[in-house]
Amino acid sequence: MSDKPAVYAEGITRTFGDVKALDGMDLVVQRGQVVGLLGPNGAGKTTMVRILSTLLRPTGGHAEVAGFDVVKEANQVRRMIGLTGQFAAVDEYLTGRENLRMFGDLFHLTPAYVKARSEELLTSFDLDDAADRPVRTYSGGMRRRLDLAASLIARPEILFLDEPTTGLDPRSRLGMWQVINDLVADGTTVLLTTQYLEEADQLAQNIVVIDHGHVIAHGTAEQLKDQIGGDRIEVTVHDDATAERAARAMESVISGHPLIEGNKISAPVSGGSMVLVGAIRALDLAKIEITDIMLRRPTLDDVFMSLTGHLAEDETQRPEPTRRRGVRRR
């Protein structure tokens, strides 16, 4: 294998009718990296993954996966990748084991390898007991695990995960995170999309924030948080009247304008956890009793808010041209 990046995309555009799903999208994923593609619904995440996994042709731009052109060398790309989409792409009537066998056979692997690899995957994804039951009878979490197992049958070097935990209950989500982290530890390159900031924070070393079909920010979670400023101190006092006094008392410790909401004061600070000691001392000196005090790093929610002006989970005012279930043909 060459030393080319796992994913290299430049100026990708994709239009559906007169809707621009992708508008000059650039993306580089180095081998062994985990990159999280973060954005609200309709930002173009799924469209990007479908283009990189050869399911959709770009309207413009150029993309390579494992050094192969996704349009001209689609079949070589398919040999290198695994894809797990938002909807479990397995056969409902086949058993878990039959599904894995079918996909292994279609990958043109030897029956002996497919058999051994299926057993291994069924065990590691905790599907041993359900292996000979039709998938129809599986729970949502089991389906997703089988779906991911099916993507891994040929040990792909590059794995695309399109919203791998959407619709899963919290326990299944944690299980899925564990599985993904293990894969990454194993050296698999992963590009995952998510609309959950927490998920990108948990799984991805590198985060690419996209909105309206192009990249608006990228970096590690820490870098993104630094972009919008440092830590904030949050103090809760007994009543609203005291809040005003508390803010004044802390004037010497905080490094910006304090925000007062009811009995809560929040203000930017610089200087790490020693700030807490200073604040407590200042409040004690002013004889103000506090009920809660904390120093917090900005969350990716704060990042998203400051970059896009809306929250990531804000799904209401966006049209959804590219995620219609059903079949589109041209």
Partner 1 sequence: MSAITVGRPVALRRPIYGWALHDGFVVARRNLIQTLRVPELLFFSLVQPVIFVLLFAYVFGGAIPIPGDGASPADAANAYRQYLMPGIFGQTVAFAAAASTVGLAEDMSRGIIDRFRALPMSPSAVLLGRTFADAVRQILVLAVLSITGLLVGWRINNGLFSALLAYALLLFFAYTVAWVGAWIGLSVPNPETANTAGLAWLFPLTFLSNAFVPISSMPDWLQPIAAYNPISTLVLATRELFGNPTGIQPHYWSLDHAVLYTLISCAVLIGIFAPLAVRKYRNATSR
Q: Provide the binding-site residues for partner 1, judged by CB under 8 A.
A: 46, 50, 53-56, 75, 78-79, 81, 83, 85, 87-91, 93-94, 98, 102-103, 105-110, 112-113, 116-117, 120, 124, 134, 150-151, 154-155, 179, 182-183, 186, 322-330
Q: Which is nearer to partner 1, 193 or 242 (CB)?
A: 193
Report in angstroms how near the CB of residue 44 gets to partner 1 at its nearest: 14
Q: Which residues pair with 190 in a beta bridge?
A: 34, 159
Residue 21 CA to residue 280 CA, distance in Å, equals 50
Cβ 142 vs Cβ 175: under 8 Å: no
The burial class, CB within 10 Å (0-12 / 13-18 / 19+), for 138 is buried
CA atoms within 13 A on the CB side of 123: 6
Structure tokens at 306: 């400051």
Q: Which is nearer to partner 1, 88 or 265 (CB)?
A: 88
Report the run of H or E that residue 276 belongs to, with start and end.
helix 274-285
Report in angstroms how near the CB of residue 202 gets to partner 1 at its nearest: 17
What radius of gyration do the chain's Cα atoms show?
Answer: 24
- Residues across the chain: 330
Residue 193 CA to residue 177 CA, distance in Å, equals 13
Report in angstroms how near the CB of residue 79 gets to partner 1 at its nearest: 5
Q: Which is nearer to partner 1, 143 or 214 (CB)?
A: 143
Cβ 52 vs Cβ 63: under 8 Å: yes
Q: Which is nearer to partner 1, 88 or 312 (CB)?
A: 88
Report in angstroms how near the CB of residue 32 gets to partner 1 at its nearest: 16
Report in angstroms how near the CB of residue 147 gets to partner 1 at its nearest: 8
β-strand pairing of 60-65 with 68-69: antiparallel
Q: Which is nearer to partner 1, 178 or 220 (CB)?
A: 178
Report the run of H or E that residue 215 belongs to, with start and end.
strand 214-219
Q: Which is nearer to partner 1, 248 or 318 (CB)?
A: 318
Report in angstroms how near the CB of residue 91 gets to partner 1 at its nearest: 6
